[in-house]
Structure 1
Amino acid sequence: MLTVGCHLSSSKGYLAMGKDAVKINANTFQFFTRNPRGGNAKAIVPSDVEAYLAFAAEHNITRILAHAPYTLNACSADEHLREFARATMADDLARMEYTPGNCYNFHPGSHVKQGVEIGITYISDMLNAILKPDQTTTVLLETMAGKGSEIGRSFEELREILDRVTLSDHMGVCLDTCHVWDGGYDIVNHLDEVLTEFDRVIGLSRLKAIHLNDSLNPLGAHKDRHARIGEGYIGKEALIRIINHPALRKLPFYLETPNELDGYAAEIALLRENYQ
């Protein structure tokens, strides 16, 4: 069965997200742990979590993905911003244990003229400070498009972070189709070769989730502008090949396309119709 969902608003709580997922025929979903621009997180209501877990079991919702706020920059040149990222992510991981066994995804950050090596050091140091041996949440590094001084524009940069994390069994990667395309990996014409390269550098066993997005930009543009399925340079046929690829088809897919619920429902229906 295809595991597919989209990004849902967390403002009304876990149970409401679960109901929205079922409404659009999704069996997973992604959500922000707090306001995507940063700030305090909404208090978790244990009764809401309990109701969600029962609802999710009843409706076969599985492997949800939390997304850190965009504003977190674990490799900022500003020590206070690095500390804010560390404290926020540590809090998020503690909150994730209310829904055990899921994933937490974040953008590695931008080194802002300090250089990739220093940026990677800051990111791995933060992860070593916040990961705990007994946590059930897997933390995912997201592949990035490479705009500005973003870290994670190449598989090698992500691998270097993973190599420096002591509790590496708690780490994985989320591959964003728009980002890798914008980053220069040709998943339209050379999907097999890109996955072979990913396996060589990082290892496919590390790949835990896929953000399934089309791109408004041509290959290697380094701009990161998502498009609806079939309305960008990647195209519907290539994205359908991705969900059916033997190395990927059992992974969860999360749509981050510019849609409301009805648009997500249509894309999910399209993907299910073409899943083999």
Structure 2
Amino acid sequence: MLKIGSHVSCSPKGLLSAVNEANEYGSSTFMFYTGAPQNTRRKPIDDLYPIEGKLAMESSGIEDTIVHAPYIINLGSYKESTYKLAVDFLKEEIRRTHAFGVKHIVLHPGAFTDMDAEYGIQRIADGLNEVLGGTNETEVHIALETMAGKGTEMGRSFEEIASMIEKVEHKDRISICLDTCHIHDAGYDIVNNLDGVLEHFDQTIGLDRIGVIHVNDSKNPCGAGKDRHTPVGSGWIGFESLNKVVHHPALAGRPFILETPWIGKDAKTQRPMYEVEIALLRGNVEERFGPEFVEDVQKLRSFFAELELDHRQYVLDIWTVLKNDAKAKKEDPREPLERLYDYVTAAELFPDLSEEAINHRLIAWLAGS
């Protein structure tokens, strides 16, 4: 069975809450933080229901879960206090990850800020050596995440990551988190040349190091260096290309994690699209949602066909306008999914469905045939 899930929350009952949320989406894996992603404050492990969570995972058939380190950790910093915080925290986070029985902790490598890339690579490698050399939980791997290249963040090319690994003593404890949005935004053309990108990765780093794949569409064209996620099928990568990633034989057996943004008109009531994204990528939409859902998607196809609106071209055209025409963006900043939702509600196509339910159907329509 395809190991696919999403980023989930540990509130209010720690690992048990994470498992319950993952089950709502039909997940067979998931990724979580052991605390808030914006800081390093952490509750004791026993307060996060580890035993209850593991039992729930077993009964649900969930495996290969992933921990994500908080975003504020920066091993590339030249500031001693920032660097020491990153090293000390990661040592403790490895111990916590081990206590949950998790094998991979995803880490944004770091940013060189006021220095340069060469300094950043060495500083990150030094930090990884301190962290791995100071922990005994050898089953836990630090999964360096491929980055989009915004600002001074490192890991924006396969070569940068390879240079970091080369300088690490405990290479057997380094894995990779391959993020589709990030490598697309960094300039790797996974839409037209997925096999070539994976071959380049294999030659530079080695496909055997990939421990987890983040599955995200992108709001920006290839090489933009922006790192702005969008739901599957609603961005420049598109469903077809992401589906090829998820089912590529070279990536088989790894956990695939969605980090796509929640959507909706009102920020307070926005909802994730994980359930339908997982079903589409797994190929069991009708089983998950029922035949009426499929009929509604066909209704959308007919509706948009009358408007002569192609699902892929429309998405790319809107993102192009929003990127290149400042006046048009100011007058109408709505993104593709929001515009499509407005089309549907104006036509009263599904008057009895909630905003979330309509968006589910739009995501399915964007997946094409």
Name the TM tier (shorter chain). over 0.9
Letter of the 1:196 partner, please give it. E
Task: Tell me the SS of whatever aligns to 1:247.
Answer: helix
Q: Which moved more, 1:126-135 or 1:166-175?
A: 126-135
1:51 aligns with 2:61: no
Aligned partners of 1:78, 1:271: CA distance in 2, in Å?
43
1:231 is displaced (CA, Å) by 0.3
Aligned partners of 1:235, 1:33: CA distance in 2, in Å?
31
Contact 2:104 2:142 (C-alpha < 8 Å) held by counterparts: yes
Aligned partners of 2:84, 2:220: CA distance in 1, in Å?
34
Residue aligning to 1:4: 4
Task: Tell me the SS of whatever aligns to 2:56.
Answer: helix
Aligned partners of 2:80, 2:157: CA distance in 1, in Å?
25
Contact 1:242 1:249 (C-alpha < 8 Å) held by counterparts: no
1:178 aligns with 2:158: no
The match for 1:267 among 261, 277, 284 is: 277
Which consecutive residues of structure 1, in runs of 5 or more, have no partner in the other structure? none
Contact 1:229 1:267 (C-alpha < 8 Å) held by counterparts: yes
Aligned partners of 1:8, 1:101: CA distance in 2, in Å?
15
Residue aligning to 2:149: 146
Residue aligning to 2:247: 244
Distance 1:85 1:235, change over 3 A: same
Which consecutive residues of structure 2, in runs of 5 or more, have no partner in the other structure? 263-269, 286-369
Contact 2:67 2:104 (C-alpha < 8 Å) held by counterparts: yes
Give TM-score, length-normalised by structure 2: 0.72
Distance 1:134 1:16, change over 3 A: closer
1:98 is displaced (CA, Å) by 1.0
1:256 is displaced (CA, Å) by 0.3
Please show how residues 184-263 of structure 1 align to structure 2 within 5 Å.
184-259=187-262, 263=273
1:42 is displaced (CA, Å) by 2.1
Identity of aligned residues (%): 41
- 1:175-214, Cα deviation, whole Å (9 max, x unpaired): 0000000000000000000000000000000011100000
Question: How big is the alpha-carbon RMSD for the aligned residues of Structure 1 and Structure 2?
Answer: 1.6
Specify the structure having the higher radius of gyration (Cα).
2
Aligned partners of 1:47, 1:212: CA distance in 2, in Å?
27
Aligned partners of 1:182, 1:193: CA distance in 2, in Å?
16
Q: Which moved more, 1:228-237 or 1:95-104?
A: 95-104
Distance 1:186 1:47, change over 3 A: closer
Please show how residues 70-219 of structure 1 align to structure 2 within 5 Å.
70-131=71-132, 132-219=135-222
Give TM-score, length-normalised by structure 1: 0.95
Contact 2:15 2:48 (C-alpha < 8 Å) held by counterparts: no
Aligned partners of 1:208, 1:261: CA distance in 2, in Å?
28
Contact 1:24 1:261 (C-alpha < 8 Å) held by counterparts: no
Letter of the 1:271 partner, please give it. L
1:11 is displaced (CA, Å) by 2.4
1:138 is displaced (CA, Å) by 1.3
1:162 is displaced (CA, Å) by 1.0
Task: Tell me the SS of whatever aligns to 1:119.
Answer: helix
- 1:155-181, Cα deviation, whole Å (9 max, x unpaired): 011011111111111111000000000
- 1:79-136, Cα deviation, whole Å (9 max, x unpaired): 1111111111111111112122421001011101311111111111111111135432
The structure whose residues are more often helix, as a share, is 2
Q: Which moved more, 1:45-54 or 1:11-20?
A: 45-54
1:272 is displaced (CA, Å) by 1.0
Distance 1:144 1:171, change over 3 A: same
